[in-house]
Amino acid sequence: MNQIKPWLTTYGLNLLGAVLILVIGLWLSKIIAKLVRRLMNVRNLDSTLVAFCGNLVYVILVTFVIIAAMSKLGVQTTSLIALIGAAGLAIGLSLQSSLSNFAAGIMMIILRPFKAGDYIEGGGMAGTVELIHIFSTRLKTPDNRTVTIPNAKLMGDNIINYTERGTRRMDLVIGVSYDDDIRQVKQILLDIIAEDKRFLTDPEPVVALNEFADSSLNFVMRPWISVADYWPTYFDTMERIKLRFDEAGISIPFPQRDVHLIPNPESGN
């Protein structure tokens, strides 16, 4: 008993210390994880990112608590830490593309270049954003296809957000014949803009002769319009231009080339 008592005293205290480290550590881990989630919610970050980061912080803290408790019991944790580090490195290398998508997803949620419901162009595709995940973003194309783009590819390319500012400029190029009256053409285009109340007056629309092309005089027509009305108004305007030009006798020329035949004096033709 005299030999057992010191052993029980030493290892009993170590066991008690390990239990206290484990209990208090797990309690503090939960509190810190909740605090991280609360701070992220205050900044209105995505709920998926909040849950993932909170769980990640909790797992990391619990791992350190378990290692500390094992060390208190006298277990050699150096090799265990090295094993965890090697496993983490191997997992990181095998999931390199997934981790890059994850990092891009976090940057996307923090920087917010777009949100659900925006019409964007990026990663070689265009469509309305439906869902933003940690690893990928889902778009719905105008023809009702679903496209899933890895976040790394989306963030590694230019992103055009057509919805964020609420208005767009409609850029039309209209070619007319060299024989047509350009003042009449310009007035017709201005009238078409003025008659459609969906076009905005501020910024002021632009109608101007832009180019002396090979087969036509090219006018630019640049009115401003709300994003929601863009495509219906675009189609209506194209149809109205053709009808008004037909009424006024203004032609929209097709590409053509003048060929001049030079007679050959030797042939007598």
Predicted pLDDT of residue 214: 83
**Mean pLDDT of all residues in 105-128:** 85
User: Quick one: pLDDT at residue 58?
Assistant: 85
H or E, element range at 210: strand 206-212
Q: What does each C-alpha distance from 172 to 187, 218, 237 come to in angstroms? A: 15, 10, 10
- The encoded tokens of residue 76 equal 């050699």
Structure tokens at 180: 């047509």
Distance (Å, whole) CA 174 – CA 132: 39
State both tokens at 112: 């917010």
- Distance (Å, rounded) from C-alpha 93 to C-alpha 227? 44
Overall average pLDDT of the 16-23 stretch = 82
What's residue 77's pLDDT?
A: 65
Q: What is the mean pLDDT of the chain?
A: 82
**Torsion angles phi and psi, residue 150, rounded to 5:** -60, 140
Q: Is the pLDDT of residue 33 over 90?
A: no
| Alpha-carbon gap, residue 93 to 90, rounded angstroms | 5
Residue 55 one-letter amino acid: N
Q: Higher pLDDT residue, 72 or 130? A: 130
Domains of the chain: 4-94 (1.10.287.1260), 113-161 (2.30.30.60), 167-248 (3.30.70.100)
Please report how the helices 78-94 and 47-72 are oriented relative to each other, as an axis angle in degrees rounded to 10.
Answer: 150
Per-residue model confidence (pLDDT) at position 11: 67
